[in-house]
Chain A
Amino acid sequence: MAEELLNTNTPEVVEHKKDKRHMGLTASRTISNTVIYFILVIMTVVWLVPFIFLVLQSFRVESTGMVGYIIPEQWGFNNYVNLFTNTKFPKWFMNTFIIALATAALQTIIVLCMSYTLSRLRFGGRKFLMNFMLVLGMFPGMLTMIILYRVLADLHMTQQNSIPGLILVYAASSGMGYYVSKGFFDTLPKSLDEAARVDGANRAQVLLKVILPLSKPIVIYTLLTAFMGPWGDFAFASYIAFNNSNGMNVAVGLNSLISTPASIGKNYTMFCAGGVVVAIPITVLFLFLQKYYVEGVTGGAVKG
């Protein structure tokens, strides 16, 4: 009897221990999940409120200035209509669109060529070039603003001609952003390049026919970042446009709507409507391209 009592490993006891351990795990997991979700919900609310606020204000029609409440008393599209009819918003929007599109195209081509070259070719000064660009990239771009304005002014690419000027500036330094795509290319097996070269492809064909189709996620990433940079730029664009309303982009143009206390009272809700319209192309672009944001498609290329 005493032995039986001392034996703590009878089937019943083992089963009970298992249950207890199981319950303990479940309970601790529930608690930690609750804490994590609580924190995430708070972060989401903090992050989303400004956007919701912006959208709601853009539909407010009872007044045009800043008010102390969020939900409009009267709803309507007046602010949007005014934005497109009584301001140069369509012009700014088109300016920005052209700049962003051209920059996205140029920057993507330059970045991908640069990254592929640095990933695959070995040439004298390669390491120095990579380090040099890394260090150069640490200096704020703003430092170059004055000299760049001078250069662009001499080329007649400022004020009403700011579109080509801005495209030139955005695209010129784009090769320096090679890190991410070079990192991606480095993960693609080099034997794919070699196989293609033996199969009869030159380097450009290797890039176009083999590497790029396998690099959709990184191409999309490069395109999106290249598009978003000019789309949201304010400092440089306002400097190059130099108060000429025909050369402004949306950020500079919208800012000009609320540049004085008097104009804030008059244009604030219209400014909010502008903010919403500006977000539309980026949202559409993301929705359209997100399906390509899939994990790499290199399965089966080489023996894993």
Chain B
Amino acid sequence: MAQVKLTNVKKIYQGNVVAVHDFNLDIQDKEFIVFVGPSGCGKSTTLRMVAGLEEISEGTVEIDGEVVNDLQPKDRHISMVFQNYALYPHLTVFENMAFPLRLLRPKMSNKEIYDRVTSAAEVLGITEYLTRKPKALSGGQRQRVAIGRAMVKDCKVFLMDEPLSNLDAKLRNQMRAEIILLRKRINTTFIYVTHDQTEAMTLGDRIVIMKDGYIMQVGTPTEVFDEPANLFVAQFIGAPMMNTVKCQLIKEGKKYFVNPYGVKLEVDGEKAQILADNGVETRDIILGFRPEHVDIVKENGIPVSVLVNEMMGSEIHLHVLTSDNAKLIVRVPTVRLTKEEREGLTAGKELQISFPGKVMHFFDPETEKSLLVKE
């Protein structure tokens, strides 16, 4: 249980390659923070700097008020779960989990070690595998052992580096739910790295979205979804990706309108108010709207034709083409459609779509920053 504070943390590799730029973040005690971003964004590097596996080029990392820059990993009171499990193949599951306890000084009694390992194994449902070697386990079981090994030790910060990436989709969902339960049980500070926005959204108290070594936004899952600070965050969070179109934001008196695909749509009152507060005048923008906020309408909509119909079960992802050849994605819950309607959504089908003003996002085409962020 501890606060973690990263101040102006920078990672510069040989050849002046900067992997992490000026990273500033305060992680609260018992907070579950998720670093998310595409490959090479610096999320794992940042985590490894907290763990002490990577040297910190500039800045400071504090755990529980103590600067740990020059401390060895073993002296930082951390536990870590690796993407590839990193189990010791010559040891049994029991000995793998007991490994960190056997290294403790003063020595821990065998009984205490036994109690801790068996109780962790029970929580993770791996009691029956305690005498096996890692090679006799499946991927999911191995990951449980890796989590168990990190659990048995009293640690201030629990680090997880893409722990679910190597599991198949079904198992990943199951383990994700188990990590949520585990978090409640362990009740310590978590830093979790993933490239999967679904994991980030479902697990994190707060999410740190990174790109090219920079923090793009820090916020709760709701904040980063509803109020993305920039185009990158808007498109990274949410699946399928947010639709975007270059168009004009038009100010008429106190009202704001947008004109995507040659159709004039009014901006909702609350968002118009924020734009007015930010002093936004008529200008070019990138308009963003999420696939799930698009409705199929009978009239006065944007005419489109269906390109591809992806039937996902509970919903259909329609890839559609506008009259000016722009591609959009529309998410249609199947429960809203009759069987005929569902079957009618085939390639070439002409439709009209629309979306309400309250779900629109506006971005500066040059800086890609959101115009809705209050200055």
Contacts and interface: CB of A to CB of B under 8 A. Distances in A.
Instruction: Point out which of B85, B142, B166 has the most chain A C-beta atoms below 10 A from its C-beta.
Output: B85
B166 A303 contact: yes
A198 B53 contact: yes
Interface residues of A, number: 24
Given A191-B84, A300-B133, A303-B166, A197 B89 contact: no
Nearest to A195: B86
A298 interface: yes
Given A196-B99, A198-B79, A199-B103, A302 B135 contact: no
Contacts of A194: 51, 53, 73, 80, 82, 86
B84 A189 contact: yes
Interface string B247-262: 0000000000000000
Contacts of A196: 88, 99
B74 A200 contact: yes
A245 B134 CA distance: 56
B53 A197 contact: yes
A294 B190 CA distance: 41
Instruction: Point out which of A192, A199, A201 has the most chain B C-beta atoms below 10 A from its C-beta.
Output: A199
Interface in B141-178: 142, 149, 153, 159, 166
A265 interface: no
Contacts of B159: 198
Contact of B86 (A200, A299, A301): A301
Nearest to A215: B90
Nearest to B75: A200
B72 A197 contact: yes
B104 interface: yes
A97 B326 CA distance: 83
A201 B80 CA distance: 14
Instruction: Point out which of B84, B133, B159 has the most chain A C-beta atoms below 10 A from its C-beta.
Output: B84
Contact of B73 (A191, A198, A214): A198
B371 to A, nearest CB: 44
B90 A191 contact: no
B73 A197 contact: yes
A65 to B, nearest CB: 56
A200 B90 contact: no
A301 to B, nearest CB: 4
B123 interface: no
Interface in B68-110: 72-74, 78-80, 82-90, 99-100, 103-104
A205 interface: yes
Contacts of A192: 86, 88
Interface string B40-55: 0000000000011100
A94 interface: no
A255 interface: no
A92 to B, nearest CB: 40
B357 interface: no
A201 B86 CA distance: 14
A52 interface: no
A195 B150 CA distance: 9
A194 B162 CA distance: 15
Contacts of A303: 83-85, 139, 142, 166
A297 interface: yes
A189 B87 CA distance: 10
B88 A301 contact: yes
Contacts of B88: 192, 195-196, 210, 214, 301
Contacts of B74: 197-202
Contacts of A300: 87, 89, 133-137, 142
Contacts of B89: 214, 297-301
Contacts of A302: 82, 84-87
B48 to A, nearest CB: 8
A269 to B, nearest CB: 49
A213 interface: yes
A189 B136 contact: no
Interface in B123-142: 133-137, 139, 142
B50 to A, nearest CB: 11
B72 A301 contact: no
A303 B86 CA distance: 8
11 contacts: A194-B86, A197-B72, A197-B73, A199-B149, A202-B72, A209-B99, A214-B89, A299-B135, A300-B133, A300-B135, A302-B82
Nearest 9 interchain pairs by C-beta: A300-B135, A300-B134, A299-B135, A302-B84, A200-B103, A195-B86, A199-B100, A191-B86, A301-B89
